[in-house]
Every structure is written in structure tokens, then in C-alpha cells.
Amino acid sequence: MHNPERANYPALTHADLRALYCAEPSPTVRRLVWEIYCLHVVVKTAGAVIRCRSLGGAVMPGGLDFVLDELARVLQAETYIHENFRSLMDIHEKRRLRYSTKKRNHKVFRRD
């Protein structure tokens, strides 16, 4: 994750999640902790895809397909995947414009 705030908020372990719930055992906190746990499952499955891909030919025949099928199965249950979010191209374009040299030069060489 390329967010500078990540240094202030490191990833939570299962023990951290359990401690959060024990500190504040309310239905809302329980729901949030459960959602984070489910996201951990998705991320770990995606990590298995990356590890399998990096092994290349050392994986059993059909191994990558098996892991991709498992990722597809895990993602199927995640309803937010199917919501109508902005496309990645829109997000990339917004970031590109934010860091473009033309915009920076305009600020430096502004003619008032």
C-alpha cells in the first residue's frame, strides 16, 4: 500500500482484532472485526496467487488455475466487488493529473 498513513497504522493480526473486540465488545465492533477478518481471507488468497505465479513451472500442473479458481470463489461472496465503483482508469487518470509536471510548473511559474 502506497499510503503514508500506513506507517502510523500497521496491519492488524488476528490477535490484534481479538484484542480490539475484547476492549469494546459491542455489536458494531463485532461486525467491523468480522468484516476485517473476511478481508484478510481475500488478501491471503490473493497472496497465494502471487506466490503461485512467482513459482512458475515449479507448481503442480493446474496449480495456478486451482488458486485462481479459489480466489474467484472467495471474491464471489464479497458484494462490494460487484458495486458500481469508479473504474481503475479514472483513478489512475486522477492520480496522473495530480502529479503531472504541467500542473507543478503552472504553480511555480504562475503569472499574476
Cell of 72: 474467484
Looking at residue 25, its pLDDT comes to: 92
User: Whats the size of the chain, residue-wise?
Assistant: 112
Looking at residue 30, its pLDDT comes to: 92
Q: What's the predicted TM-score (pTM) here?
A: 0.58
Per-residue pLDDT tens digits of the chain, which is 112 residues long = 567 777 888 888 889 999 999 998 999 999 999 989 888 888 888 888 888 777 765 666 677 788 888 888 888 777 777 666 666 677 777 777 777 666 555 555 555 5
Handedness of CA 39, 40, 44, 47 (dihedral sign): positive
Looking at residue 57, its pLDDT comes to: 58
CA–CA separation, 99 and 102 (whole Å)? 9
Looking at residue 106, its pLDDT comes to: 59
